[in-house]
Structure 1
Amino acid sequence: MAKSAKRRTPLWARLTAIFGGVLMVTSGGVLVTGQALISKYTSGLDAGSTLVGDPAEGATKGSAEIKGPLNILMAGIDPRDEKTPPLSDSIIVAHIPASMDQVYMFSIPRDLYVDIPAFKATGFGGGKAKINSAMSYGSSVGNGKHDVRQGFQLLTKTVSQLTGIDSFDAGAIINFGGFKKIVEAMGGVTMKIDMTVKSEHLKPNGKPRDRRPECADNKCDHPYIGEQKVYKPGTYHLKAWEALDYVRQRYGLPNSDYDRQRHQQQFIKAMAKQAMSKGVVTNPSKMLKILDAAGDALTFGAANGTSVLDWGLALKDLNTDNMVSIKLDGGGVFDPATNRYYGEKLADGSQAFFQAVRDDKIQEFLLAHPEFINKNS
Structure 2
Amino acid sequence: MGKSGKRRAPWWARLSAVFGAVLMVTSGGVLVTGRTLIAKYTGAMDSGSSILGGPAAGATKAAADIKGPVNILLAGIDPRDTKTAPLSDSIIVAHVPASMDQVYLFSIPRDLYVEIPPFPATGFGGGSSKINAAMSFGSAVGDGRHDVKQGFTLLAKTVSNLTGISEFDSGAIINFGGFKKIVEAMDGVTMTIDQNVKSEHLQPDGKPRPKRPECADNSCDHPYVGPQKTYRKGTYHLQAWEALDYVRQRYGLPGGDYDRQRHQQQFVKAMAKQAMSKDVVSDPATLLKVLDAAGDSLTFFGEGHSVLDWGLALRNVSTDDMTLIKLPGGALMQGGRYQGEQLAPGTDEFFQAVREDRIAEFLLDNPEYVSRNG
**Which residue of structure 2 aligns with residue 366 of structure 1?**
363
* In structure 2, C-alpha distance between the alignment counterparts of 1:300 and 1:85, rounded to whole Å: 19
**Which residue of structure 2 aligns with residue 78 of structure 1?**
78
Identity value in percent: 68
Task: Identify unmatched segments of 5+ residues in structure 2.
Answer: 1-30
* In structure 2, C-alpha distance between the alignment counterparts of 1:132 and 1:37, rounded to whole Å: 22
- Decide whether aligned partners of structure 1 residues 18 and 241 sit closer, same or farther in structure 2, where only a CA change above 3 A counts: farther
Does the residue aligned with 1:225 lie in a helix, a strand or coil? coil
* In structure 2, C-alpha distance between the alignment counterparts of 1:186 and 1:48, rounded to whole Å: 35
Instruction: Tell me, yes or no, if the aligned pair for 1:36 and 1:171 is still in contact at 8 Å.
Output: no
**Which residue of structure 2 aligns with residue 319 of structure 1?**
318
Cα shift at 1:87: 1.1
Cα shift at 1:138: 0.7
What aligned pairs does 1:117-136 form with structure 2 within 5 A after superposition? 117-136=117-136
* In structure 1, C-alpha distance between the alignment counterparts of 2:194 and 2:296, rounded to whole Å: 35
Cα shift at 1:129: 0.7
* In structure 2, C-alpha distance between the alignment counterparts of 1:373 and 1:140, rounded to whole Å: 38
The answer to whether structure 1 residue 169 and structure 2 residue 169 are counterparts is: yes
Does the residue aligned with 1:248 lie in a helix, a strand or coil? coil
**Which residue of structure 2 aligns with residue 102 of structure 1?**
102
Cα shift at 1:299: 4.1
Aligned partner letter, 2:140: S
**Which residue of structure 2 aligns with residue 69 of structure 1?**
69
Instruction: Tell me, yes or no, if the aligned pair for 1:280 and 1:286 is still in contact at 8 Å.
Output: yes
* In structure 2, C-alpha distance between the alignment counterparts of 1:330 and 1:18, rounded to whole Å: 43
Supply the RMSD in Å over aligned alpha carbons: 2.4
Task: Identify unmatched segments of 5+ residues in structure 1.
Answer: 1-8, 22-30, 52-57
* In structure 2, C-alpha distance between the alignment counterparts of 1:121 and 1:274, rounded to whole Å: 41
Does the residue aligned with 2:34 lie in a helix, a strand or coil? helix
Of structures 1 and 2, the larger Rg is shown by 1
Residues 41-90 of structure 1 show CA distances to partners (whole Å, capped at 9, x for unaligned) of 5xxx3233449xxxxxx99x711011111101111111122222111111
Aligned partner letter, 2:34: W
2:52 to 41, 46, 56: 46
Residues 224-282 of structure 1 show CA distances to partners (whole Å, capped at 9, x for unaligned) of 11011111110111111111111111111111110011011101111111122111111
Instruction: Tell me, yes or no, if the aligned pair for 2:174 and 2:297 is still in contact at 8 Å.
Output: no
* In structure 2, C-alpha distance between the alignment counterparts of 1:356 and 1:18, rounded to whole Å: 38
**Which residue of structure 1 aligns with residue 225 of structure 2?**
225
TM norm structure 2: 0.86
Instruction: Tell me, yes or no, if the aligned pair for 2:91 and 2:110 is still in contact at 8 Å.
Output: yes
* In structure 2, C-alpha distance between the alignment counterparts of 1:196 and 1:92, rounded to whole Å: 25
1:12 to 9, 27, 34: 34
Aligned partner letter, 1:13: R
* In structure 1, C-alpha distance between the alignment counterparts of 2:328 and 2:352, rounded to whole Å: 16
- Decide whether aligned partners of structure 1 residues 38 and 363 sit closer, same or farther in structure 2, where only a CA change above 3 A counts: farther
**Which residue of structure 2 aligns with residue 341 of structure 1?**
338
* In structure 1, C-alpha distance between the alignment counterparts of 2:153 and 2:79, rounded to whole Å: 19
Instruction: Tell me, yes or no, if the aligned pair for 2:202 and 2:209 is still in contact at 8 Å.
Output: yes
**Which residue of structure 1 aligns with residue 114 of structure 2?**
114
Cα shift at 1:36: 6.7
